[in-house]
Amino acid sequence: MEQSIIQLDFADEMKNSYRDYAVSVIISRALPDVRDGLKPVQRRILYAMTELGLSPEKPHRKSARIVGDTMGKYHPHGDSSIYDALVHMTEEYSLTLPLVDGHGNFGSIDGDSAAAMRYTEARLSAGAMTLLNNLEKGLVPFGPNFDESEKEPLVLPATLPNLLVNGTTGIAVGMVTNIPPHNLGEVVDGVIAYLKNPEITTKGLMKYIKGPDFPTGAMITNADDILSIYETGEGKLTLRAKTEIEESDYGRKNIVITEIPYTVAGNKSKLLENLVSLAKDKVFDEIYDVRDESSKEGIRLIVEVKKDRNIENLLNGLYKKTAMEDTYSVNMLAVKDKQPITFTLKHLIQEFVSFQEELYTKEYKHLLAKANDRLEIVDGLIKATDVIDLIIEILRGSDSIKQAKGCLIDGKTDGINFKSKKSEKEAATLCFTERQAEAILTMPLSRLIGLELLKLHQEGEQLRSNIAEYINVLSDKKELHKIIITRLREYKKKFGRERLTVLDNLAKEKYVEEIKEEELYVLIDRFGYAKTIDSASYSRLAEETLADYTHIISLKNTDRLCVFTEEGNMYQIKAMNIPKGRSRDKGVLIQSLCKSDRETIILYISAEALFESQLFFATRKGFVKQVAGISFDTNRSVIASTKLDEDDKIAGITPLNVVEAINPDAKVVLITKKGLSLGFPLYEASELKKTSRGVKGITLEDDDTVRYAAVAMPDCEELIFEQKKYDPQKIRNRKRAAKGQKAKIKK
């Protein structure tokens, strides 16, 4: 057998294949159709349920059966994705109008997952029928399924703007849709307003559709941005939980969360866990207790606040650090004519109305054809009753139904035995239609009763009246719109509810941390491991224990630890970020706290002490200067402490208090690597900005550098140069050596 090899460019093949895949995901899986607001999997589930006869008045059926039918006939993409879509359509906290009525454990707003499909049951909800009614009338196009063994609707005959009412979310290739749910009554009013005035503006529509209305309620705090979102189809909404303040025991107060943001729907337990962890970790010292008192009556999350604390400030903090306030990104993307398009509010309503005009036109054409067909039969039966004796004579004289039918339709009398020539002559004048002839031949004798004849005449009159009405609706678009409006108002009356989501404009208030001030001690050992202990614990430590720490810095828990390195950087670490520990705890590497893995630390000082000090800097190349400590006051976690040449480093930094800095007898002492020394008055080292290099303090030979630098006071009798530096490379080398030693001992 000969094989043909096709030469293809790899890049072109990848591009074409990926494009085909992307289009398939966009059109056939992830994005909703603008007409019925459904993704393909949702549409197929609802159609499969219709085929199974699972209407709202019928018993529930196992979800596994529904999923099996959907997967086997229409959606061959895995049972888990189909079941997830089915579960989503039952969620009252996700949809304004759930499309599936679930029986059993379908999950909860807390985040509990649904039971396996073999344990749950489902049927269509009353709301789903607004999308499925008249499906049998041929109002929407059908197409072959994946293996062309079945037919499926390409769109459902939705007579309710499902895309706006229930919203949707989906992620496709390179695009995402996120349409928020709206209040059904408001959307109906908006559609009616558009039908009455197609020139209505977005602002005019917003008199009816005020904004999204989430099933979970809560608040939208940037209501002024909604107009822009509706006009562009894109934007962001800020959602905030609804809260109440209640009195509690012992003078405490409770923050009661009664409604949560829509973004937390199906994840309420995570919000609760977040609140508990913030209280446990003392992020919010004001919180006394957190508990969940939710029930069937509604959500009730309790945050109990300590006595005499600022509740409004705490609320601001909770909005900032928890999902009690969240952002919902709106992107009104949907598919129209197999193209993904970002729609505005008005365009969505336009598309819905256009689809309704098409549906109702087809429906009334269907009704008109059906009424005409029935009228034809009714007229035939009425006409037949007038000559019933002749028809009986024809039937009795005919050899076959075909012969009798030919006489009724075309007046053919050949071969039929008549009682008289008169009857034969009258029979030759008969001209019933084929449909009428069929109805006459199958007409029961009970039709000849007087009352039945009266009913036929009444039915004929009613049919003529209906036909006139149908023709009027089809010939006048205003009449068609009246029919659409009537049905929409019926839906509003049946499914409408009050708005749940409050629309407001609220500024974001800043949270001021309420921290109880206390004295701490930062203990740093020779390997650079740091921890903090409170003053009470510090006072109980023995001198032998304190001797193990090369640096002990006193500071408040509201303060920061400032770390200066040889490389000319200053790092700031919040005292509360340094873990608390006991005397036997190892602590955390200081390098990991300030993220300076390759730098050698030469000075630790609290920010409070730093700002009240004067710093003397000396570099290895002999540059010196003084810098006011207050110039290092910054919120940044790392800054350059001085300017250095490319091959220069800081040899020493000496913090001086106010008295020491202005002492005229204070001397600078510099000692070089070769053992040379130089002393000069401190005041000769000029006070400069931290961004300056400094002035020349000592002239060095080419291969010499300043090794030590210090400031000596007049009462100083002995100056010991011992720079307590933490060199990470040396520590790493020591650890490697220790590991090697342990390996030798094991061998």
DSSP state letter for 249: G
Residue 148 in tokens: 């062309």
Q: What is the dihedral of CA 536, 539, 541, 543, to 10 degrees?
A: 170
Quick check: helix, strand or coil at residue 510?
coil
Residue 65 in tokens: 């059966």
CA dist list (Å): 663 to 234, 388, 738:
66, 136, 48
119 among known catalytic residues: yes
Residue 55: how many other CB atoms lie within 10 Å = 15
SS3 content of the chain, % helix, strand, coil (to 5): 40, 20, 35
∠ CA 347-351-357 to the nearest 5 degrees? Answer: 140
Q: What is the 3-state secondary structure (H, E, C) of 116-166?
A: CCCCCEEEECCCCHHHHCCHHHCCCCEEECCCCCCEEECCCCCCCCHHHHH
Nearest to 237 by CA among 343, 345, 165, 327: 327
Give the C-alpha separation, 627 to 286, whole Å.
Answer: 40
Rg of the chain (C-alpha set):
43
Nearest to 661 by CA among 640, 687, 694: 687
The residue annotated as part of the active site, out of 18, 47, 74, 119, is 119
Angle between helices 388-397 and 345-386 (to 10 degrees): 80
Residue 26 in tokens: 């966009």
Give the C-alpha separation, 130 to 509, whole Å.
Answer: 44
Strands, E, within 5-85: which ranges?
Answer: 61-62
Nearest to 532 by CA among 549, 517, 520: 520
Nearest to 133 by CA among 194, 56, 200, 75: 56
At 571, give phi and psi (nearest 5°): -110, 145
CA dist list (Å): 519 to 52, 605, 614, 630:
73, 15, 24, 22
Quick check: helix, strand or coil at residue 217?
coil
∠ CA 401-402-403 to the nearest 5 degrees? Answer: 90
Is residue 493 within 8 A of residue 299, CB to CB? The reply is no
Active site residues: 119
